[in-house]
Structure 1
Amino acid sequence: MTEDALTPPSRIERALAAVERIGNRLPDPAVLFIALLIIVWVLSWLLSGLSFDVIDPRTNAPLQVKNLLSGTELTAFLAAMVKTFVTFHPVGVVLVAMLGIGVAEHTGFINAGLRAMLTVTARWLLTPMVIVVGIVSHTAVDAGYVLVIPLGGVIFYAAGRHPLAGIAAAFAGVSGGFSASFVPSSIDPMLQGISQAGAQILDPAVALNPLNNYFFTTASSLVIVGLGWLITDRIVEPRLRGTELDGDLADLPKMQPLESRERRALNAALIAMGLGILALALTAMPSGSAWRAPSGALTDGAAPLMQSIVPLIFLIFLIPGVVYGAVAGTVKSSRDIIQGMAKAMSGMGYYLVIMFFIAQFIAAFGASNLGVLLALEGAGLLQALALPSAITVVGIVLLTAFINLFVGSASAKWALLAPIFVPMLMQLGISPDLTQAAYRVGDSSTNIITPLMPYFPLVVVFCQRYVKTTGIGTVTAMMLPFSLSFLAVWSVFLLLYWATGLPLGLQAAYSYP
């Protein structure tokens, strides 16, 4: 019997085992939303005959729950099923953004850009640079997990530092700081679309900007980089000094510098990206620009610039991706570009399945008036408790962080919570933009300590290349300081950011209406 077998599990390992058992009992997110849809139908039938002492703010009449199991409502639900899915906001915007990102990833532009950032960094700046690259990698969806995290270990090892500390720093940036980003990504319109759908349960006229949290997430990236730097260098790496490397180091992947052709291609792609951004800025500056709304504002909801954010994200990755591929030789013909788009779409199948059932659930939830009932009753309870708004917002952060331990999908969680939290907090005068920001803080902070996160086992494998005995408990103990610190400091930062009145994002507000 080995020494590890004689060692009793730690408290963290026992807690994680319990979390894993509970999480494994949850159904697949798609099945979860099918079950929720059935629950909505049944509740609408049970509550449709009751009278409620609340006034529907949309009609100024007593609220009435609609029975979705009636013949009329069931046939209407089936007749609208296709339209409900194809017009569901998060579907189109995410797929369009992914088309451009897929080309940039397929041609090697994103890979080369990340490698270039990591290879020109001084040793003492390795930690913040790895975290920054992890944050930037959010634009490529899963690229950070499969590229940046192992490279974090490689460059730390090459610099004479403990490779597990590099993996921890990269993991913290990629996943722990998932909602801290200064580069727009597909997660922005996805969450905004779900938030907007939740807000429209109460106010159908609400329209949110896809970058409604952009300024906050940009500022948050500075917090995550600084905090992650401190934790890596002062807590995690010193603790790892006694952990010996016993892996087969000869077989470890090497961080290869860019070849001359790759450098030329990257420079050409960055020039193309810069010229595109410059052209956008120059055409938007004139007072009579076609990018402006009739009122002359660039940030107005009616401005073509605001309505074109997702297509612009598509182009800002498509153009440099094509230029890079043409110069580097990874694009031989137009077929290679289309192949990159097709490859990106091939990985979206599961997302589309989940979105189909989420769309049906949200539509039924809104049609039943259950969301409005929960919002009004919940708001009444919170108003009766007379809790400060700051405590309510922090409560949203903590509850989201807890649920994240069991439900890993950001879109699935928010689709579940937004129809309840967003309209409920709107009744308390808190905007959907602020509620979404609170959700993003909680959603990110505990990503790195739950084995139920799909890429968590992959991180364990990366660590085992250096330390063969690495297990779930090892990685969790390594990441726990990041998780707890991010949760506490980021929550305080949100409150301070709110107190200063700095804008959350484009066309965003703190209060409603």
Structure 2
Amino acid sequence: MEQAKNANNEASFVMRFLNNIERVGNKLPDPAMIFLGAMLLIWLLSWMLSGVSFDAIDPRTGEAIVVHNLLSGDSLAGFLASMVKTFTGFAPLGVVLVAMLGVGVAEHSGYINAGLKLMLKRTPQALLTPSIILIAIVSHTATDAGYVLVIPLAGVIFYAMGRHPLAGIAAAFAGVSGGFSANFIPSGIDPLLQSFTQSAAQIIDPEISVNPLNNWFFTSASSVFIILLGWYITDKIIEPRLASTKVDGDTNDLPEFNEVTSKERSAFYAASAVMLAGIGLLIYAASGEDSALRSESGALTDFSAPLMQSIVPLIFLLFWIPGAVFGFMVGTFKSSKDMIDAMSKSMNSMSYYIVMAFFCALFIAAFSKSNLGALLAIEGAEVLKAMALPSSVTVIGIIFLTAFVNLFVGSSSAKWALLGPIFVPMLMQLGISPDLSQAAYRVGDSSSNIITPLMPYFPLVVVYCQKYVKDTGIGTLLALMLPYSIAFLIGWSLFLLAYWGLSIPLGLQSSYIYPAG
């Protein structure tokens, strides 16, 4: 009896804590204004610190790091001259808008509606949450596809199943972003991080070679761990807390999950056959060793490979074409104008995100040009190095430092370009391999993705939530994602230590010690 009472008190404390996070967070200004305020703060700090000499060495240049004054005449003139290019060149903006054009055709034709209705018939409700998280994790293979496809569809699916749509969005966001370094399938991020790891390791050992899949076994095992942990948090913490949150958004344009008619079923299978034929044609085009879709080295998964650079246009085509086929077969599209109207509707829902993306792009550009992010990362790493902790504690320290830096510097590759040349040689001198250093970095990098409003896709997820709960703000999403972030950071760190303790290989040609035995 006493044990049950204590458990209820603990649960009540967690709920009160999350409610307070939501209440305080929602009192923050609009996300667009937060980005604007953060940019102005960066300008001020850059002016204050531009005359300070720092001993920290920038690993990218080999010289002492310098903070650039963004309030100088030249910097302000450059800011104005490049403002349009900074906005239009903001990578997440193009990814979202191009993908949503294709998704809009598939959605408003009824193709996605029919597919979801058929899928829901075959998915046991008890396995819905882990299925969503699994799909979210696998979506990393297609770079940013999870943000524009899996997360909003998870909300639709949960809503259709009579569950709270924000719980579905949270579960998918946790899988796509919180579990970014968990995946059964190798993706372009593996060779990208490996290239920085190898160059950093060669500072100590010019002959060392790091396999691009040196963390593959660990990321595969992590997928199972993240699915199970995310499943528990969604069903036992997030959804019970949302029970009193009323769905009051504009859900009129969401799919109605009535029975699939025979005409819709035939059209869906025909449209899906067209999609599969397109995928088959793509596989055939990429299979040849001299394929134009391969990189100069012949690899398909390198970031320089045209195939990897074409993921978003391919998403557009693989939804636009079957959506059009379905629409004309069932009659939702009578003419090409109906397709254009469908694409216009999808853009209407993105107007708020476009405004936020404008200020977000300006902030990220300012933070990068000022060098303040680099200074933060390098100084933090130097403090960790000076502490001279035991190997296991040092690895945990790297995970937590990475998670902290990730709150300010979003790009995974940019952070590792800064931290890798410090972490990897430092740990090699302690007998820890570059493979383990990279695995530790990936855990920390993923865990805090979902609680930083400065992450470019965070405002987009807020927009998804507002479709169901109109007054959703930054605090709402922070309160939803904080349990995942804390659990991933602590649980995944312990999982890595246990994995290391059992001496399970991290990946291909990997080791835990340096030099490898």
What TM-score comes out, normalization by structure 2 length? 0.66
Does residue 145 of structure 2 align to residue 150 of structure 1? no
- Summarize the Cα distance change of 1:500–1:132 in structure 2 as closer, same or farther, 3 Å threshold: same
Matching of residues 166-315 of structure 1 within 5 Å = 170=168, 173-179=171-177, 222-223=224-225, 225-226=227-228, 255-315=257-317
- Encode CA deviations 1:427-469: one digit per residue, 9 max, x unaligned: 324899975664444445999xxxx9677798899xxxxxxxx
- Name which of 387, 391, 398 aligns with 2:396: 391
Matching of residues 399-478 of structure 1 within 5 Å = 415=410, 423-424=418-419, 427-429=422-424, 438-443=444-449
- Summarize the Cα distance change of 1:417–1:309 in structure 2 as closer, same or farther, 3 Å threshold: closer
Secondary structure (helix, strand or coil) at the match of 1:297 reads coil
Does residue 149 of structure 2 align to residue 140 of structure 1? yes
Does residue 45 of structure 2 align to residue 43 of structure 1? yes
Q: What is the distance in 1 between the residues matched to 2:25 and 2:375?
A: 29
Q: What is the distance in 2 between the residues matched to 1:374 and 1:446?
A: 16
Q: CA deviation at 1:170?
A: 4.7
Q: What is the distance in 2 between the residues matched to 1:90 and 1:148?
A: 25
- Encode CA deviations 1:357-407: one digit per residue, 9 max, x unaligned: 222122222222222222221221122234556414542687699x8xxxx
Q: CA deviation at 1:259?
A: 0.9
- Summarize the Cα distance change of 1:36–1:495 in structure 2 as closer, same or farther, 3 Å threshold: farther
Q: CA deviation at 1:275?
A: 0.6
- Residue identity opposite 1:268 in structure 2: A
- Summarize the Cα distance change of 1:127–1:288 in structure 2 as closer, same or farther, 3 Å threshold: same
Contact 1:52 1:62 in 2 (8 A): yes
- Encode CA deviations 1:206-242: one digit per residue, 9 max, x unaligned: xxxxxxx999988766555555667899x79xx99xx
Q: What is the distance in 1 between the residues matched to 2:330 and 2:216?
A: 33
- Summarize the Cα distance change of 1:86–1:103 in structure 2 as closer, same or farther, 3 Å threshold: same
Q: What is the distance in 2 between the residues matched to 1:446 and 1:34?
A: 16
- Residue identity opposite 1:64 in structure 2: V
Which 10-residue stretch deviates more, 487-496 or 111-120? 487-496
- Name which of 377, 380, 398 aligns with 1:378: 380
Contact 1:48 1:66 in 2 (8 A): yes
Q: What is the distance in 2 between the residues matched to 1:277 and 1:215?
A: 27
- Summarize the Cα distance change of 1:416–1:216 in structure 2 as closer, same or farther, 3 Å threshold: same
- Summarize the Cα distance change of 1:376–1:441 in structure 2 as closer, same or farther, 3 Å threshold: closer
- Summarize the Cα distance change of 1:226–1:342 in structure 2 as closer, same or farther, 3 Å threshold: same
Secondary structure (helix, strand or coil) at the match of 2:341 reads helix
Gaps of 5+ in 2: 1-8, 137-145, 201-214, 244-254, 425-433, 454-460, 471-475, 509-517
Q: What is the distance in 1 between the residues matched to 2:321 and 2:16?
A: 50
Alignment correspondent of 2:246: none
Matching of residues 123-138 of structure 1 within 5 Å = 125-129=124-128, 131-133=130-132, 136=135
Contact 2:151 2:169 in 1 (8 A): no
Alignment correspondent of 1:329: 331
- Residue identity opposite 2:157 in structure 1: V
Contact 1:145 1:455 in 2 (8 A): no
Q: What is the distance in 2 between the residues matched to 1:36 and 1:385?
A: 31
- Summarize the Cα distance change of 1:446–1:428 in structure 2 as closer, same or farther, 3 Å threshold: closer
- Name which of 41, 52, 56 aligns with 1:54: 56
Contact 1:128 1:225 in 2 (8 A): no
Q: How many residues align?
A: 424
Matching of residues 334-353 of structure 1 within 5 Å = 334-353=336-355
Contact 2:399 2:445 in 1 (8 A): no
Contact 1:93 1:310 in 2 (8 A): yes
Q: What is the distance in 2 between the residues matched to 1:47 and 1:483?
A: 32
Q: CA deviation at 1:141?
A: 5.8
- Summarize the Cα distance change of 1:497–1:415 in structure 2 as closer, same or farther, 3 Å threshold: same
Contact 1:176 1:446 in 2 (8 A): no
Q: CA deviation at 1:61?
A: 3.2
Alignment correspondent of 1:80: 82
Q: What is the distance in 1 between the residues matched to 2:403 and 2:355?
A: 29
- Residue identity opposite 1:147 in structure 2: V
Q: What is the distance in 2 between the residues matched to 1:76 and 1:95?
A: 27
- Residue identity opposite 1:341 in structure 2: M
- Residue identity opposite 1:428 in structure 2: F
- Residue identity opposite 1:53 in structure 2: D
Q: CA deviation at 1:356?
A: 1.5
- Summarize the Cα distance change of 1:219–1:232 in structure 2 as closer, same or farther, 3 Å threshold: same
- Name which of 350, 356, 359 aligns with 1:357: 359
Contact 1:422 1:435 in 2 (8 A): no
Alignment correspondent of 2:511: none
Q: CA deviation at 1:145?
A: 5.6
- Residue identity opposite 1:361 in structure 2: F
Contact 1:273 1:319 in 2 (8 A): yes
Gaps of 5+ in 1: 1-7, 154-163, 204-212, 244-252, 404-412, 462-472, 504-513
Secondary structure (helix, strand or coil) at the match of 1:428 reads helix
Q: What is the distance in 2 between the residues matched to 1:169 and 1:23?
A: 18
- Residue identity opposite 2:304 in structure 1: A
Secondary structure (helix, strand or coil) at the match of 1:80 reads helix
Alignment correspondent of 2:118: 116
Q: What is the distance in 2 between the residues matched to 1:459 and 1:220?
A: 31
- Percent same amino acid among aligned pairs? 44
Contact 2:59 2:422 in 1 (8 A): no
